[in-house]
């Protein structure tokens, strides 16, 4: 049995990783209730300015902690995007059209996370229906800037240290981009590997659940639970030792004069064994293809909201819906065909590498809150079903966190996570990370 | 304006197709309220013995009819499987674990059908969670026999003429098989062409919504609405005239000593231009592949029900869940790989034909109600994503209806419907159909 003197102090606990918390709670070295109180205090202090939760549930979190959770996520403070169904908390899908709506069951991915012992602190802010209209959340590193979206709340709460893990979703760039803007790690998995049931739907082809965490090893732990694959847990996949760094392609799309590639160049110079990769001629066209697939599918998925609840929806959502209404089945077919042709020619994209390094976003989080930033560097990977991970990679010229995106072929999620951990290790060894001690307090 | 004397009588209306009803109601020649009362009377007479509805809503149907519905399905008496969310009727997913559950929104496909003017008569019986445990519905042609499942209620209500169109779902053979057993037409579409959102999920890879109707032209009308493709409506795709019959392969899987291929042989002899097709060597293995994909995905989808509501579930569902729990990610991967290899070798299956004729089920609906019949001839098409239509094709040796299944390559849904109409015309011309006048009264 552990003695009182061997237990870490509250300020020591506050610096622990999610995996260390979970091991401590599961083994009885840490008290889930003590852990929960530490994070509830931090939420109470920071949340009023950050506005990352749409529904914060301290009493429910205390009740979860009181049952001494077991499992690989035991006691980990957790946030769930408001577009994902929860049986014990309202799920408003970021919209005034669903006031106080209470689903009858957890989405399967929520159930898996709960069963693993996570302590859900609340529902985090989403743009309306995970599309265009932003919520009230600000960026934890600069309140004058967007946290990104649509998974705004999960990204901001992680960046500010109000939770240690959370769930987002992505149809265009809604997980990778906000994570990069908020200095945290996140994964867009290959399709079908994490159930999307119980998520407010946009596109059956594109929608994925996006696990988010503070670093890649914590991310691997969460992914292993969401995918029901214990072999992806950090102990199995990415032990805390030097990992071999495999060759990568450096993929810098050309047609973006406003993008800042300096963070990626800096990372690449540290990493070595990176070969510049030229975009195949079909690359640009995949942007239109993604939009065509999204438009046709979402105009069915959102048809109830558009037809019956138009007046309750935000003006940005109106604009989004009206644009998507112009999509056609023929365009959808063309988009799917473009995707399938690209998938048959994937070697032209990856070259001899198994991984590509590319920006997570065009730059740092933009100033203002009217928009959540462009998904330029995300939409094509989402269409292709290529898994990607955003890795915190230091700060940009405005002092805001930046991320780099590592991409693999569809289905290579395990190899991707392992390589991402090796990349993160190498960046940290070079002093490049988005969470230096002096910034860790956030907001 | 139409005069009273030009209006059809109630007994004339009762013989009309769904497409004739819809045209009549939309143009004002028929009154939706009169149509609805005719079908409500029929339901009142037949339903007590048939038990096809889990929730029958005559007052809601009257209210829908009273607003003089417009659109391509105007006034069509309609049934919706209980696993599909409806905003104005309970949705219990065939299970005692969801007593009286009321979703907040219609599933998108329900909304599309309603928007097209259909008059929803109620929710139809499903097996529990669309898996193994049967509901109370009997076969309309012989109450001692199963109607098939899991879309038992929609198939039986259509077969008995209590509705003219309805929705089922299919993950293994849950739409095609009950339709064949009940003497009606139905389609398992290619994946992604009809939204499955709002359907109680089993498998993201396999689940599809299955439109069902009394004949192929009515089916095409319903599919055109569900897919939002007006070019698939019968006026556009399959006008009431002689259609060209294209070459077909005759595909008789070998390893089923109990199957009765006589109905298919009879149909083939009438149709001509049918070439016997030999199964490629990978064909049999797709059965295990489908089961492996289904098991791994459903063990996540149903995890909430299994973990939290076990005691409320049926013994057949327990057995189903326990078997699926044995699935693994490695088996899922192998199943997906087998599917992808098969899709790359589809010419070996179809030969030079664009369509294959194959049984819808091994024979007539079996006696008894403990099971809903085998999905032997459905599971592989579901895995491959090949669209299929079951066409009523006369009666078998026990006097029960039989269907033949017409299959096309993935995405060829429009061509499939057109060929299916041509096949149905040819069978009817030869006197082979499942609804001779003498049997039309059912039950």
Nearest CA in chain A to B333: A411
Distance, in Å, from the CA atom of A134 to the CA atom of A18, rounded to the nearest integer, reads: 28
> Which chain B residue has its CA at the smallest distance from A201's CA?
B197
Break chain B down into helix, strand, coil percent, rounded to 5: 40, 15, 45
Q: Is A190 considered catalytic here?
A: no
Q: Is residue A270 part of a domain?
A: yes
Chain B residues close to A303, C-beta within 8 Å: 108, 111-112, 115
Domain that holds residue A233: 4-283+341-439
Nearest CA in chain B to A330: B229
Report which DSSP code applies to B152: H
Yes or no, beta carbons of A329 and B227 under 8 Å apart? yes
In a domain, A330, yes or no: no
Mean per-residue pLDDT of chain B: 94
Q: Is A201 on the interface with B (CB under 8 A)?
A: yes
Q: Is B354 exposed, middle or buried (0-12, 13-18, 19+ CB in 10 A)?
A: middle
Chain B within 8 Å of A92 (Cβ-Cβ)?
Answer: no
Q: Which residues of A touch B297 (CB under 8 A)?
A: 192, 195
Give the closest of B195, B229, B303 to A301, CB-based: B195
User: Are B101 and B138 within 8 A, CB to CB?
Assistant: no
Does a structural domain hold residue A81?
Answer: yes
Whether B378 contacts B177, CB under 8 Å: yes
Mutation to test the A interface, candidates B95, B108, B411, most A Cβ within 10 Å:
B108
Residue B259 has pLDDT above 90, yes or no: no
**Contact predicate B323/B292, CB 8 Å:** no
Q: What pLDDT does residue B6 have? A: 66
Chain A, window 100-159: residues with a beta carbon less than 8 angstroms from a chain B beta carbon: 101, 104-106, 108-109, 111-112, 115
A303–B115 C-beta distance less than 8 A: yes
How far is it, in rounded angstroms, from Cα B48 to Cα B64? 23
* pLDDT score of B388 more than 60: yes
Please tell me if residue A310 touches chain B, with a CB cutoff of 8 Å: no
User: What 3-state class would DSSP assign to B187?
Assistant: strand
Q: Specify whether A172 is catalytic.
A: no
Q: Choose the catalytic residue: A23, A81, A188, A200.
A: A81
| Residue A302 within a domain | no
* pLDDT beneath 70: ranges in chain A: 1-6, 254-255, 436-443
**Number of inter-chain CB pairs under 8 A, A vs B:** 74
Of the candidates B17, B95, B150, B224, the residue annotated as catalytic is B150
Assign A41 to helix, strand or coil: helix
Please tell me the distance from the alpha carbon of residue A241 to that of residue A247, in angstroms, as a whole number: 19
Residue B3's pLDDT band, with cuts at 50, 70 and 90, is very low
Q: Is residue B380 part of a domain?
A: yes
What pLDDT is recorded for position A440?
44
pLDDT tens digits for A378-391? 999 999 999 999 99
Pick from B108, B112, B301: CB nearest A195: B301
The mean pLDDT value for B314-335 works out to 97
For A304, the closest of B101, B108, B329 (CB atoms) is: B108
Strands B401-408 and B355-359, by their bridges, are antiparallel
The band of B439, judged by pLDDT with boundaries at 50, 70 and 90, is very low
Distance from A361 to chain B by nearest Cα, in Å? 29
- pLDDT of B443: 40
Q: What is the CATH number of the domain that holds B130?
A: 3.90.1300.10
Measured CA distances, A309 to A98, A99, A301, A303, A318 (Å): 10, 12, 14, 10, 11
pLDDT tens-digit readout, A251-308? 987 667 778 889 999 999 999 879 999 999 999 999 999 999 999 999 999 999 999 9
pLDDT of residue B433: 87
Length, in residues, of chain A: 443
B344/A contact by beta carbon, under 8 A: no
Residues in chain A within 8 Å Cβ distance of B201: 108, 195, 197
Touching check for A344 and chain B: CB below 8 Å? no
DSSP B367: B
Q: What is the DSSP code (8-state) at residue B359? A: E
Considering CB atoms only, which of B111, B192, B333 is closest to A307? B111
Angle at A309 between CA A303 and CA A311, to 5 degrees: 130
- The reply to whether B297 touches chain A by the CB within 8 Å rule is yes
Cβ separation B197–A201 shorter than 8 A: yes
pLDDT tens-digit readout, B79-107: 999 999 999 999 999 999 999 999 999 99
Contact call for B303 and A112, based on CB within 8 A? yes
Please state whether beta strands B53-56 and A165-170 pair in parallel, antiparallel, or not at all (unpaired): unpaired
Q: Does B300 touch chain A (CB under 8 A)?
A: yes
Has residue B436 got a pLDDT over 90? no
Q: Closest Cα to residue A247, out of A279, A277, A217?
A: A277
Name beta bridge partners: A123. A55, A80
Taking the whole predicted model, whether its pTM rises above 0.90 is answered as yes
Nearest-CA distance B301 → chain A (Å)? 6
Closest CB from B201, B204, B227 relative to A192? B204
Residue B310 contacts A where some CB pair is shorter than 8 Å: no
How far apart are alpha carbons B323 and B306 in whole angstroms?
12
What ipTM describes this predicted complex?
0.94
Find out whether A224 and A250 touch, Cβ atoms under 8 Å.
no
Chain A nearest CA to B338, separation (Å):
15
Q: How confident is the model at residue B255 (pLDDT cuts 50, 70, 90)?
A: low
Q: Residue B18: pLDDT band by 50, 70, 90 thresholds?
A: very high
CA distances from A228 to A79, A222, A236, B70 (A): 19, 10, 14, 48
**Looking at chain A, which residue has its C-alpha nearest residue B201?**
A197
Angle of CA points B8, B14, B15, to nearest 5°: 90
pLDDT number for residue A2: 43
Segments of A89-195 assigned E as strands: 119-124, 165-170, 185-188
Chain B residues whose beta carbon lies within 8 Å of the beta carbon of residue A297: 192, 195
Which of B105, B204, B305 is nearest residue A195 as measured by Cβ atoms?
Answer: B204
Q: How many CB atoms lie within 10 A of CB A120?
A: 24
Q: Is the pLDDT of residue B250 over 50?
A: yes
For residue B205, list chain A residues with Cβ-Cβ distance below 8 A.
Answer: 192
Residue B72 placed within a domain: yes
**How far apart are alpha carbons B94 and B314 in whole angstroms?**
10
Mutation target among B112, B115, B197 for the A interface, most CBs of A within 10 A:
B197
With the CA atoms of A361, A365, A366 and A371 taken in that order, what torsion angle do they form, in degrees rounded to the nearest 10? 80
**Distance between CA atoms of residues A375 and A291, nearest Å:** 11
Q: Please confirm, yes or no, whether A174 is among the known catalytic residues.
A: yes
List C-alpha distances in Å: B434 to A180, B181, B313. Answer: 61, 10, 36
Which tokens sit at A263? 């963070």
- Per the structure, the count of domains in chain A is 1
Q: By the CB < 8 Å criterion, does A330 face chain B?
A: no
Q: What is the per-residue burial (b if ≥16 Cβ within 10 Å, else e) of B6-31? A: eeeeeeebeebbbbbbbbbbbeeebb
For residue B59, tell me if it sits in a domain. Answer: yes
Cis peptide before A37 (omega within 30 of 0): no
H or E segment at B274?
strand B274-277
Question: How far, rounded to the nearest angstrom, does the alpha carbon of residue A316 sit from its chain's CA centroid?
Answer: 23
């Amino acid at each position: 049995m552990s003695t009182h003197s061997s237990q870490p102090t509250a300020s020591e606990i506050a610096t622990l990783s999610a995996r260390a918390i979970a091991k401590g709670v599961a083994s009885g070295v840490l008290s889930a209730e003590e852990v929960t109180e530490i994070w509830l205090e931090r939420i109470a202090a920071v949340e009023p300015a950050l506005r990352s939760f749409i529904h914060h549930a301290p009493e429910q979190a205390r009740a979860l902690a009181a049952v001494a959770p077991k499992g690989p996520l035991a006691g980990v403070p957790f946030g769930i995007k408001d577009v994902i169904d929860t049986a014990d908390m309202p799920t408003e899908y970021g919209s005034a059209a669903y006031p106080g709506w209470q689903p009858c069951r957890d989405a399967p991915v929520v159930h898996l996370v709960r069963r693993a012992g996570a302590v859900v602190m609340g529902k985090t802010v989403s743009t309306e229906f995970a599309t265009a209209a932003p919520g009230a959340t600000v960026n934890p590193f600069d309140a004058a800037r967007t946290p990104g979206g649509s998974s705004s709340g999960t990204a901001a709460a992680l960046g500010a240290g109000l939770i240690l893990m959370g769930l987002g979703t992505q149809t265009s760039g809604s997980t990778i981009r906000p994570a990069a803007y908020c200095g945290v790690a996140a994964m867009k998995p290959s399709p079908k590997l994490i159930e999307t049931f119980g998520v407010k739907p946009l596109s059956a082809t594109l929608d994925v659940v996006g696990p988010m965490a503070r670093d890649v090893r914590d991310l691997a732990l969460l992914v292993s639970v969401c995918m029901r694959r214990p072999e992806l847990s950090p102990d199995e996949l990415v032990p805390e030792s030097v990992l071999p760094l495999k060759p990568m392609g450096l993929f810098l799309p050309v047609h973006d004069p406003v993008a800042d590639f300096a963070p990626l160049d800096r990372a690449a110079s540290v990493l070595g064994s990176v070969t510049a990769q030229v975009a195949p001629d079909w690359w640009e066209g995949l942007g239109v293809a993604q939009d065509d697939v999204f438009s046709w599918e979402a105009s069915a998925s959102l048809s109830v909201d558009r037809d019956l609840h138009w007046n309750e929806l935000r003006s940005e959502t109106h604009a989004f819906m009206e644009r998507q209404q112009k999509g056609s089945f023929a365009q959808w077919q063309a988009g799917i065909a473009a995707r399938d042709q690209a998938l048959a020619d994937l070697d032209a994209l990856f070259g001899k590498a198994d991984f590509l390094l590319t920006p997570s976003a065009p730059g740092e989080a933009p100033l203002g809150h009217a928009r959540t930033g462009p998904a330029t560097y995300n939409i094509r990977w989402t269409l292709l079903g290529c898994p990607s991970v955003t890795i915190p990679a230091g700060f940009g010229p405005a002092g805001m966190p930046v991320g780099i995106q590592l991409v693999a072929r569809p289905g290579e999620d395990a190899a991707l996570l392992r390589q991402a951990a090796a990349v993160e290790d190498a960046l940290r060894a070079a002093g490049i990370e988005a969470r230096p001690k002096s910034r860790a307090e956030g907001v």
